[in-house]
Structure formats: C-alpha cells, structure tokens
Structure 1
Amino acid sequence: MNTALLQRGIALSAQPVSWLNAAQPVLLLAVRLYIAWVFFRSGLTKIDDWGTTLALFQDEYQVPLLPPALAAFMGASGELLLPPLLLLGLAGRFAALGLFVVNAMAVISYPALFQFDCPAAIQSHYFWGASLLGLAAFGPGALSLDAWLMKRFKRL
C-alpha cells in the first residue's frame, strides 16, 4: 500500500474528527437532556394518577420478585430522582446506570410490547438503553457537574 495515500487519508480525516471532538460535550448534554426529559415525564405521569399506576403494576406489568406497590414506588422514584442528576451530570454515571435498570425493567415487565408487535416502542427502549450505557461507560461529558467537580478538586 502506498504510504503517501495512507497519509493523505489520515490528513483528510483529521478535520472532521476535530469537529466531532469539539462537538462532543454539547452532544452528550443533548443526549442527557433528552433522556432525562423522557424518564422524568414518565415519572410525572405515574404520580399524576397513582391509583392507575398501582393498577397497571398489579394487572399489566409483571415485575419479577417485587410486590406491585413496591415496584410502582421504585419505578416512579427512579424516574423522578435520577433524571435531574443525569441532566446536571451530577453522579452522571450512577444516574445513567440507574435509569438503564429502570428501562430494562420496563421492557422485561411489560410483555405487551412484544405481544402486540410494537416495534416503535421497543426501538425507543433500545435507543434509551444504548444511550444510557454509553453515558455510563464514557461519563456525562465536559458540560457536567461531575467534570466541574473533578477539575475543582484536582486543584486542591
């Protein structure tokens, strides 16, 4: 292989890679904002009509190992407490992993997603799960309280 051609290809890719690296903090913030909004809104829906939420957890959702009322409480709590942390990027990896578990439990415990052939709903859950795993693996990014705290405490 021609080394000049390889060097030219590397040089051509340097600028787009540089742009993507510069955009990374904003893109991670956008992902955090979207995911936090989706889950927080779901939590608000749960507490808006707690009786319906309890009925769903008793009749529709099949959360393994937990009584329906406890599962409903834990699900709503996770959807209300973790999204603000994720949005701020405070304990961002913890929040992302917690919401990943909430999302996984939603998919596992609601078989109607599969029975009634709801590909859009399943794809949304897969997207949220993959996004949350990415945030857990790579962190919430430079535009987060985690990053700010790390910089602040490294100076001390």
Structure 2
Amino acid sequence: MDNSTETAAQTSTGTGVLPGLIKQANTLFGRIPDTLIAMIARFSIAGVFWKSGQTKIEGLAIDIVSGEFSLGVPRLSDSALFLFKEEYSLPLIAPELAALMAAFAEHLFPVLLLLGLATRFSALALLVMTLTIQIFVYPGAWPTHGVWAAVLLYLMAYGPGWCSMDHFIAARYRR
C-alpha cells in the first residue's frame, strides 16, 4: 500500500491527523473546570445587572472597572422614574414601585452572585427580570436577553462552583 492510500485509509477510519487533533481538542475543552465557567458567569452577569441598577439611582456610585466611587444614601433617580412611567409601562404594577423593585433587585442579586450566596435563587430572580424585560419592554432585544438567560440557566442548573459561599455553607452542613 502506498502512502496516499494509507493516509486515505487512516482518515476514513478516524485514525488520521485531523480526527486525532479534534479528539485532543475536545478532551482539552472537557477539562475546563465548571468552577471557572461558573465564576466567569457569576461575575459577568452580575456586572450587567449592577451597571443597569446604577443607572436607576443617585447618591451611591460604585464602579470597580472605571474607579468611580461615591458613597452616600441611594435614592431613585428622576430619569428612572421617567423611563418606568413613559417607556417601560409594565402591566399590573405602578411605575414607581416597578422602578424601585428593579433598582433594588439589580443591586441585591448581583452582590449575592458575586459572593456565590443563594446563587440559584439569585439567578432565578434575574431570569424572571430578564423575561419581563424581554416580553414587556424590549422584545426586539432577544439576542442579548438570550445570552443572559443562558448564563442564568447555567448558574441555576450547575450552581456557583466551589469558589462560593454556597459551597462553603453546603460543605459545613455536610459534616
């Protein structure tokens, strides 16, 4: 058998170079730790919601990335109230209450996600918020909301990983 026939035979049986590289790559990708994925998911989605929450309040500004820190008593911004009255118009809930609930949720649940505390519950709460935004506020933004939903569903299904308060608490109570 000559080299070209031998190479073709190896490739067709899956023993050639390309199938071997694909198998090695798949094995390598399979070794990415779930905890790393969960940590990146937690920090990334927390950042999205925290930054959104910061646009709804005045008196407290905490942005680690830009270095903006202004500690004070937070209050709902006039622009947030305006948006909830004029643009968002959610059914069954007063705009003032909706704005306050959104600002509160966009600060509380990201902090819990960063700590890895009540992670699955926090992810569920933010998923409900995401679905509300998708259905009632920005139905055309499904590509963005789909990514958020995928991250939140991952956290709900697999949890925060071992680098979290949830893991520490669970390990403590297993003893």
What TM-score does the superposition give when structure 2 sets the normalisation length? 0.71
Question: What's the C-alpha RMSD, in Å, of the aligned pairs?
Answer: 2.3
Deviation at 1:62, TM superposition (A): 2.2
Q: Confirm or deny that 1:139 pairs with 2:159.
A: yes
Q: Does 1:32 align with 2:52?
A: no
Q: Which residue of 1 aligns with 2:92?
A: 65
Q: Deviations over 1:60-92 (max 9, x none)?
A: 002121000001011111101000101111000
Displacement of 1:20 in angstroms is 2.9
More strand, by proportion: 2
How far the C-alpha of 1:16 sits from its partner, in A, is 4.3
Q: Is the 8 A contact 1:63 1:108 kept in 2?
A: no
Q: Which amino acid aligns with 1:61?
A: Y
- Paired with 1:144 and 1:23, the residues of 2 have a C-alpha distance of 14
Q: Give the partner amino acid of 1:34.
A: S
Question: Whole-Å Cα distance in 2 between the matches of residues 43 and 127 of structure 1?
Answer: 19
Q: Residue in 2 aligned with 1:23?
A: 33
Higher relative contact order (CA 8 A, sep 6+): 1
In structure 2, how many angstroms separate the alpha carbons of the residues matched to 1:20 and 1:87? 25
Paired position in structure 2 for 1:118 = none
Stretches of 4+ moved more than 6 A in 1?
A: none
State the distance in 2 between where 1:87 and 1:103 align.
Answer: 18
Q: CA deviation at 1:145?
A: 1.0
- 2 CA distance for matches of 1:149 and 1:13? 38
Determine the C-alpha separation between the residues in 2 that align with 1:70 and 1:21: 46
**1:86·1:92 contact (CA, 8 Å) conserved in 2?**
yes
With 75-84 and 142-151 compared, the bigger mean Cα shift is at 142-151
Q: Does 1:47 align with 2:57?
A: yes
Question: Highest CA radius of gyration, 1 or 2?
Answer: 2
Matching of residues 38-117 of structure 1 within 5 Å: 38-48=48-58, 50-111=77-138, 113-114=139-140
Provide TM-score, normalisation by structure 1.
0.79
Q: Which has the higher helix share?
A: 1
